[in-house]
């Protein structure tokens, strides 16, 4: 295998510059103290002086732009032939890991379960979990697992830096995969009970320890020898944090994975020359390019979606002329090149992701800009255009992806048992895009209120079907109803503020809110964020019932606000959703979940308030101070 050379526990012999024995190493720093004196003049004719690796690793220049100092030196090499060693390789040179860091690496690796448990969990992961993100290439992953299991203990004892970079980061990736799997694995599986080494432990407790051990390894390895495995590990860590309800922490972790991906140049895929690919086999080179493109697209979707949900800035973009979308190809098989998928071929997990991007996810940056500008009247033309485009894209979807009477012939295929769940997730996100598109205007545009309400109901219907699909496993993860919370709050808020409108959807809306409360209560037994969300939605629901009882529908449902499109939106609607949820708490003490007929019976006025201190322009402050009119 190709090895990186570091100053480890036992300093290696440093060959003289130009020694042919060093040619087999990757990104060596051929710095010889006998060649360069600390305070002496720098010899520009030496390899060391203008080594690409020195500029990338030592000075932090990007290896993927032609307009930096590094690019100037590259041009200088081309035109003057001064012999700058610009050979590329699959990693950036690493720094020294001291003995205590190597020891911590081994301590983290010890968190890996026994081999038979690993294989059992991996089989479950690739059958029931990996489809959700499609981050892991099963063929490559199992090859790396075999390489990892064949590493002798003596090598770890000596120095993990002697491992190939992809293999060195592999235990971190494996730990994140196992942690993600345990979140979805049936909690009553007795074959894995030995993983719970203390009384009262749950699989989620075990998963948390595995994920933290994987994150520790990633921190120990630092940012020098980055690989695709580094980015995959970071993304799965973000997924675990998000699944556990730690949404802000997940956003920061995602940002780190994005920067790692940019360091590797994943955002450039137009000209991936063979010398930059860490493989010599043509088939492997093409699939490696495919993996890079897919991973960057998935990072971009995550980034833009979380930006819209949380009101955070967007860190990624897909630039035309620099990045080309990966194609929808058939499922990978050993020793075959990617083949473009036809309608007759089974869809893959990435087929669903790509369909979602082409249908709605591509508009997240536009939706984000509209939100950040506060839902201005002049932007409503864009809202109409985006809405029309998404609806047109929905009508053009392939038959296996449709919401109504989809072609289910693939659903029972051995490799597609995940498709029903993927379909419901797809529809949740597509309708979330519509909901987010219209939510800045729900205070000012009746049409947007109606469209946002209907999108919210579609989300809740899809999430209800998705939850039923997962009932045998009963996963205790918050992202099962992640989109539901946005929809629940919006549906309740619309009827609280505009109880005379959309009465034809009222019965379905109340049923959906009650389903959401029940689901949040179930997940709240294991998830703090779900408990908080349950309290918020329950407080809104308790406000909703008396509003509906005191309101009689008027002859013109939308009459009171038909011209409000000309008025500015009074509140920033992204605050209604997830970004402040961790600090939004209802003062209602939640008993075991029930829905009494009189939801306000025996409750003081303060029980309908949201605890905490919020800015004057916050939705939650608005709800606390709002005086509801009486309808006659």
Q: Are residues 154 and 208 in the same domain?
A: yes
What residue numbers bound the domain in which 144 lies?
97-264
Q: Are residues 46 and 125 in the same domain?
A: no
Encode 528-559: b = buried (16+ Cβ within 10 Å), e = exposed. Answer: ebbbbbbbbbbbbbbbbbbbeeebeeeeebbe
Residue 323 reports pLDDT greater than 80: yes
Q: Are residues 525 and 609 in the same domain?
A: yes
pLDDT for the residue 583? 40
Position with higher pLDDT, 293 vs 601 = 293
Please give the Cα distance from 239 to 253 (Å, whole number): 9
* pLDDT tens digits, one per residue of 432-488: 999 999 999 999 999 999 999 999 999 999 999 998 888 766 667 777 777 788 999
Q: Are residues 120 and 252 in the same domain?
A: yes
Q: What are the C-alpha distances in Å from 557 to residues 246, 444, 445?
A: 41, 15, 13
- Rg, C-alpha atoms of the chain: 28
Residue 62 reports pLDDT greater than 70: no
Residue 267 reports pLDDT greater than 60: yes
414 domain-assigned:
no
Instruction: Specify the 3-state DSSP secondary structure of 340.
Output: strand
Q: Are residues 110 and 218 in the same domain?
A: yes
Please give the Cα distance from 251 to 253 (Å, whole number): 5
Instruction: Using the 3D structure, point to which of 94, 114, 136 is the last residue of a domain.
Output: 94
Q: What is the pTM of this model?
A: 0.78
Q: Which two tokens stand for residue 394?
A: 């929905």
The pLDDT of 82-107, averaged and rounded, is 59
Instruction: Using the 3D structure, point to which of 55, 79, 94 is the last residue of a domain.
Output: 94
276 domain-assigned:
no
Instruction: Specify the 3-state DSSP secondary structure of 329.
Output: strand
Q: Are residues 55 and 140 in the same domain?
A: no
pLDDT for the residue 131? 94
Q: Are residues 544 and 474 in the same domain?
A: yes
Assign 274 a pLDDT band (cuts: 50, 70, 90): very low
294 domain-assigned:
no
Please give the Cα distance from 91 to 53 (Å, whole number): 10
* pLDDT tens digits, one per residue of 118-137: 999 999 999 999 999 899 99
Instruction: Using the 3D structure, point to which of 94, 126, 149 is the last residue of a domain.
Output: 94
* pLDDT tens digits, one per residue of 15-56: 444 444 444 444 433 434 333 344 444 444 555 544 555 455
Please give the Cα distance from 129 to 136 (Å, whole number): 11
In the chain, the percentage of residues whose pLDDT exceeds 70 is 69
Q: Find, among 289, 300, 206, the residue nearest to 255 by Cα.
A: 300
Burial, 409: exposed, middle or buried (Cβ in 10 Å; 0-12, 13-18, 19+)?
Answer: exposed
Q: What are the C-alpha distances in Å from 346 to residues 163, 352, 424?
A: 38, 11, 18
pLDDT for the residue 496? 92
pLDDT for the residue 553? 58
Residue 584 reports pLDDT greater than 50: no
Select the highest-mean-pLDDT range: 263-272, 288-297, 588-597, 610-619.
288-297
The answer to whether 480 touches 470, Cβ cutoff 8 Å, is yes
Position with higher pLDDT, 440 vs 611 = 440
Q: Are residues 47 and 142 in the same domain?
A: no
Q: Are residues 150 and 197 in the same domain?
A: yes
Residue 92 reports pLDDT greater than 70: no
Please give the Cα distance from 454 to 509 (Å, whole number): 9
pLDDT for the residue 545? 86
14: left (phi over 0), alpha (psi -120 to 50) or beta: beta
* pLDDT tens digits, one per residue of 139-195: 999 999 999 999 988 888 777 778 899 999 999 999 999 999 999 888 888 899 999
Q: How many residues does the chain have?
A: 632
Position with higher pLDDT, 99 vs 313 = 313
Residue 562 reports pLDDT greater than 80: no
Q: Are residues 49 and 105 in the same domain?
A: no
361 domain-assigned:
no
The answer to whether 583 touches 612, Cβ cutoff 8 Å, is yes
pLDDT for the residue 271? 53
Position with higher pLDDT, 157 vs 514 = 514
- Please count the CA atoms within 13 angstroms of the CA of 279 that sit on its side-chain side: 12
What phi and psi, each to the nearest 5 degrees, are found at residue 128?
-130, -10
In the chain, the percentage of residues whose pLDDT exceeds 90 is 49
> SS3 for 588-602, per residue?
CCCCCCCCCCCCCCC
Position with higher pLDDT, 421 vs 160 = 421
Q: 74 Cβ partners below 8 Å, 6+ apart? A: 52, 66, 84, 86
Q: What are the C-alpha distances in Å from 84 to residues 42, 194, 478?
A: 15, 56, 52
Residue 67 reports pLDDT greater than 60: no
The pLDDT of 267-285, averaged and rounded, is 65
312 domain-assigned:
no
279 domain-assigned:
no
252 domain-assigned:
yes
Q: For residues 375, 379, 382 and 386, what is the CA-based torsion angle, rounded to 10 degrees?
A: 0
287 domain-assigned:
no
pLDDT for the residue 191? 93
pLDDT for the residue 118? 98
Query: Taking all residues of the chain, what is their mean pLDDT, rounded to a whole number?
Result: 79
For residue 404, the tally of other CB atoms under 10 A from its CB is 4
Based on the structure, what is the number of domains in the chain? 3
Please give the Cα distance from 622 to 327 (Å, whole number): 46
Q: Which two tokens stand for residue 618?
A: 């916050």
Please give the Cα distance from 279 to 288 (Å, whole number): 8
pLDDT for the residue 251? 94
Assign 60 a pLDDT band (cuts: 50, 70, 90): low
DSSP per-residue codes, 547-573: HHHT----SSTTGGGTTGGGSPPSS-G
pLDDT for the residue 37? 43
Q: What are the C-alpha distances in Å from 333 to residues 158, 287, 297, 347, 420?
A: 37, 11, 22, 14, 23
Q: Are residues 107 and 67 in the same domain?
A: no
Q: Are residues 210 and 109 in the same domain?
A: yes
Please give the Cα distance from 425 to 180 (Å, whole number): 17
């Amino acid at each position: 295998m190709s090895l990186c050379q570091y100053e480890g526990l036992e300093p290696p012999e440093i060959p003289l510059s130009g020694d042919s024995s060093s040619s087999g190493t990757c990104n060596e720093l051929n710095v010889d103290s006998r060649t360069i004196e600390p305070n002496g003049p720098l010899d520009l004719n030496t390899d060391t002086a203008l080594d690409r690796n020195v500029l990338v690793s030592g000075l932090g220049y990007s290896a993927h732009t032609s307009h930096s100092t590094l690019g100037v030196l590259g041009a200088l090499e081309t035109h003057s032939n001064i012999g700058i060693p610009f050979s590329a390789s699959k990693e950036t040179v690493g720094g020294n890991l001291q003995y205590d860091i190597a020891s911590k690496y081994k301590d983290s690796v010890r968190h890996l379960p026994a081999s038979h448990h690993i294989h059992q969990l991996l089989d479950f992961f690739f059958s029931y979990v990996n489809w959700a993100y499609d981050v892991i290439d099963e063929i490559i992953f199992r090859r790396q697992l075999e390489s990892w299991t064949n590493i002798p203990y003596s090598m770890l004892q000596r120095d993990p830096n002697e491992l190939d970079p992809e293999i060195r980061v592999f235990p971190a990736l494996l730990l994140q995969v196992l942690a993600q799997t345990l979140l979805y694995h049936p909690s009553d599986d007795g074959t894995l009970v030995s993983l719970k080494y203390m009384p009262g432990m749950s699989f989620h407790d075990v998963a948390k320890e595995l994920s933290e051990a994987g994150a520790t390894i990633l921190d120990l390895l630092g940012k020098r020898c980055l690989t695709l495995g580094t980015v995959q590990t970071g993304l799965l860590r973000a997924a675990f944090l998000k699944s556990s309800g730690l949404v802000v922490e997940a956003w920061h972790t995602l940002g780190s994975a994005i920067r790692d991906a940019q360091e590797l140049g994943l955002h450039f895929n137009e000209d991936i020359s063979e010398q930059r690919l860490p493989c010599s086999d043509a088939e492997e080179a093409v699939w490696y390019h495919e993996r890079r493109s897919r991973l960057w697209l998935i990072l971009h979707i995550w980034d833009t979606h979380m930006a819209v949900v949380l009101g955070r800035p967007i860190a990624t973009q897909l630039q035309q002329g620099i990045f080309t979308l990966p194609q929808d190809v058939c499922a990978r098989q050993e020793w075959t090149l990617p083949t473009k998928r036809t309608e007759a071929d089974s869809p893959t997990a990435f087929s669903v992701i790509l369909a979602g991007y082409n249908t709605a996810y591509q508009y997240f940056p536009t939706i984000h800009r509209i939100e950040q500008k506060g839902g201005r009247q002049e932007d409503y033309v864009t809202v109409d255009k985006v809405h029309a485009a998404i609806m047109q894209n929905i009508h053009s979807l392939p038959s296996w992806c449709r919401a109504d009477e989809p072609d289910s012939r693939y659903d029972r295929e051995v490799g597609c048992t995940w498709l029903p769940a993927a379909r419901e997730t797809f529809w949740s996100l597509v309708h979330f895009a519509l909901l987010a598109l219209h939510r800045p205007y729900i205070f000012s545009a009746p049409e947007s209120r109606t469209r946002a309400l209907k999108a919210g109901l579609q989300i809740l219907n899809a999430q209800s079907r998705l939850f039923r699909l997962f009932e045998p496993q009963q996963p205790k993860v918050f992202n099962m109803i992640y989109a539901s919370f946005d929809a629940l709050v919006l549906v309740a808020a619309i009827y609280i503020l505009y109880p005379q409108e959309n009465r034809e959807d009222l019965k379905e809306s109340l049923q959906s809110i009650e389903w959401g409360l029940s689901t949040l209560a179930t997940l709240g037994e294991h998830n703090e964020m779900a408990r908080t969300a349950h309290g918020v939605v329950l407080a809104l629901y308790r406000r909703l019932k008396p509003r509906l009882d005191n309101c009689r529908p008027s002859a013109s449902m939308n009459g009171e606000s038909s011209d409000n499109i000309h008025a500015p939106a009074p509140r920033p609607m992204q605050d209604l959703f997830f970004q402040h949820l961790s600090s939004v708490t209802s003062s209602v003490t939640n008993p075991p979940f029930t829905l009494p007929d009189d939801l306000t019976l025996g409750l003081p006025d303060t029980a309908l308030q949201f605890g905490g201190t919020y800015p004057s322009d916050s939705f939650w402050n608005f709800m606390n101070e709002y005086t509801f009119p009486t309808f006659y």
